[in-house]
Structures are given as C-alpha cells and as structure tokens.
Amino acid sequence: MAKQQLIAGLDIGTSNTKILVASRKKGESDFKVVYQAQEPSFGIRRGVVVDTDKAARIIQILLNKVKTEGNQRINSVCVNIGGSHIFCASAQGMVAVSKADRKISQEDVERVIQSARTVSMSSNEEIIEVFPREFVVDGKGGIKEVEGMQGQRLEIKASLVGCFSPYKGNLVQAVTNADVKIGDMYPSVLASAGAVLTPKQKELGVAVLDIGAGTTELAVFEEGNLIHLAVLPIGSSNITNDIAILLKTDIDTAELVKVKSGTCVFKGNDKREKMEVGDEGEVLVFSHRMLANIIGARMSEIFKEVQKELKTIGKQGNLPAGIVLTGGGANVPKIIELARKEFKLPSRIGRPLGFSNLDDSLNFASACGLVLKAAENGSGMVSKGGGIGGIFRKFAQTFIP
C-alpha cells in the first residue's frame, strides 16, 4: 500500500480562521482533502493577531474539530502570515566561488542567497523569504540555474519579503499557545498564488489578487519570478460596513444581504427586495440597483489602489496573463466583468488546482497553498497512527519569540 503524505494548512484571517488537512499518496500529484473547517476569528485585525489568547482559542477549537470529526491529531501546521506590515524589497548579493575548480556548488548558491539578506532595515523588521530573480556569473546575467556552472564571482538579484517582527511574534505566540508547532510560515498571498496560478501564467506575467475581509493582497509574477508584493488595508468587510450604514442595519444582516443579493454590476430593471431579518420578524427593504452601486463603488476603489501598485512597477495594463482573483471577497457576482473594465486586462477567478473534495474553494485558496508549500519543504508528514508529525525547518526555530 502506497504511503500517504498528510499535511495541515492553517489560514488565520480577519473574518475567519480556517484549517485544511489533505493527503497525497507517494507518486501522485494531486491532494485529497481529508478535513476542512473554519471558525469566526477573534483577536485578529486586518490580518494581524492583536490578541494572542483569543486567536489561540479559535485555533484550539479547530484542532479539536480535526481530532473529533476528522479523526486526526495535528502536531504541526504550515501557517500563513498576513497584514499590511508585510513588505517587498529588491536586493542584491555577491560571493566568490569557493571551489578551486571554479564550479558553483549548492553551498555557493546558499551563501549568495544569504548575502542578499544583509540589507539595511529597522531593528523591528525581519526577512521572511528570499526569492531569487536571476543569478549573475562573472558579469553574465539572466541565469536561473547556476549550480555546476564555472565562474569566479556569483551574484544574485532577488525579491525580499519581510514583516514587522512584533506582529510575527504575536502570530507565533497564538499558534504555539494552541499546543501546535509551526512547521512552516508563508505569506498569505504567496500561498494563494501557489494554489491558483500555473507556471505558464507566472512566466508570461500575471497578478494574483487575494481579496479577504480586512485586506486585499497583491502578488505580481513575471518570467516565473515574484517581482512585487503589496497588502492593502481594505477588503470585503468594508463593503459590508457600507451596506450596514446605508440600510441602517447590523453587520450580520448586511453580510447576509451582500451574499444573498449582491452584485458588482447592475443590469436590467431595478426592483425592491424585502428580507425578513431578526427574531422579531423585522422586514428590510432595499433596492437591487442601490446595492450594486455600493458594492461596485467599493470594489472599484480596491481595484484603483491595485492599479496604483501596478503603475509603480510599470505593469499597469501590461500583464499578458492578466489578473487572477481569489479569496472570499472574489465570490461577489460579476466581479470579473468589473475587473476587466477597470484593469483592461484578461481577468478570471482563481480556484485551487490539484485538490479533490474541496468545498468553498475561494475561501480556502490560501490554506491549499499552505499545504502545497509544506509538501514542497517537507514540513509535514504522516505517522503510522494517522496523525500529522511536524518536521521543523532550521530557520523555523527563529519563529519562537
């Protein structure tokens, strides 16, 4: 019987915290979802853990659900890190090739990547990941794979993704307080990108837009490389708030109206809808045109902020593979029609690739990407008893405050 790889991804979001457990047999490319669940988040503000105890309790609830309902005990998870404190910067590094025969070794590659980390930043900022864009050997650039080549000087041009250390510390504390180890940590939007984008899209040039409740996260790829990342402090909860204010109702009712009757683009004849809300049979009356105008205006505002980011890197209207929308906020009807109008680029919904039995795929895109990342790095494995055992990567020790 083929051995299975069993991995858990934990996505801590502004509105909901989600867990996904997936298995894959040796030699297979696709994952099968074993268990998935979500709980309303507490102690999270715009993707950042602000109350570690409240966040830990929600994580513990999900872990208990996996144990009782999914019959799995989780010891290690791949967790996301999000929020507008996440930043992206360009960096360069250089080392001398160490071997006498001038052949570039894996050790040389690791040293030059490490040299790219030595950039000047404030004491409360740190680097999460280094993403090589190209290597340069003795002045010759544009090289993707250098191991085994000959040269005297090895350089790298890379994108660095970093974060605000205290916020990262809060996240780590919340997870460890829930009695689970962090096998790996990865930026939310890059996890989503890993789940919904194809290598061809990344090669041609593409932007993935993960629309969450409290933030909208952007990652741009070209020639297979990450070239830009940004997190905007605006998301689908802003739409819900606008609806609540205009209809003079509570947030839960406004969210129900948005999900049940909302759209980004209104077409046809306007009509007024009556919806019974609350325990006392209160009737809420609203116009479909008005609702579409609220949602469309706020979503256009989000897209305009994204356009500004694309303009800073010279990619406004210049991405052959276009815009890929994912995340819970991308569930709004006709969002693709609005995106094509605003960006003037090909646009589509991005659902996770390579997962079977997956429900609510847009909401779980980041969790799927975390599972894929953990599988790539070997940060999760199955034990004979069926539980998940964590394999800490060496650098993960630095997560502990």
Span 183-214, pLDDT tens digits = 999 999 999 999 999 999 999 999 999 999 99
Residues 39 and 183 in one domain: yes
pLDDT of 399: 44
Residues 221 and 132 in one domain: no
Residues 37 and 91 in one domain: no
**Intervals of the chain under pLDDT 50:** 1, 381-401
Residues 71 and 171 in one domain: yes
Cβ–Cβ < 8 Å for 6, 382 = yes
pLDDT of 279: 64
Residues 19 and 126 in one domain: no
Residues 171 and 139 in one domain: no
Q: Which of 310, 327, 349 is the last residue of a domain?
A: 349
Instruction: Indicate which CATH number applies to the domain containing 312.
Output: 3.30.420.40
Residues 29 and 62 in one domain: yes
Residues 8 and 74 in one domain: yes
Q: Which domain holds residue 158?
A: 87-163
Q: Which of 314, 332, 349 is the last residue of a domain?
A: 349
Residues 226 and 241 in one domain: no
pLDDT of 280: 67
pLDDT of 389: 37
Residues 303 and 227 in one domain: yes
- CA 325 from centre of chain: 12
What does pTM read for this prediction?
Answer: 0.89
d(CA 137, CA 30): 37
Instruction: Indicate which CATH number applies to the domain containing 273.
Output: 3.90.640.10
Residues 360 and 394 in one domain: yes
Please count the structural domains in the chain.
4
pLDDT of 379: 63
Contacts of 268 (CB under 8 A, 6+ apart): none
Residues 227 and 314 in one domain: yes
Compute the CA torsion angle 332, 197, 23, 187 (nearest 10 deg).
Answer: -80
Instruction: Indicate which CATH number applies to the domain containing 154.
Output: 3.30.1490.110
Q: Which of 275, 295, 315 is the last residue of a domain?
A: 295
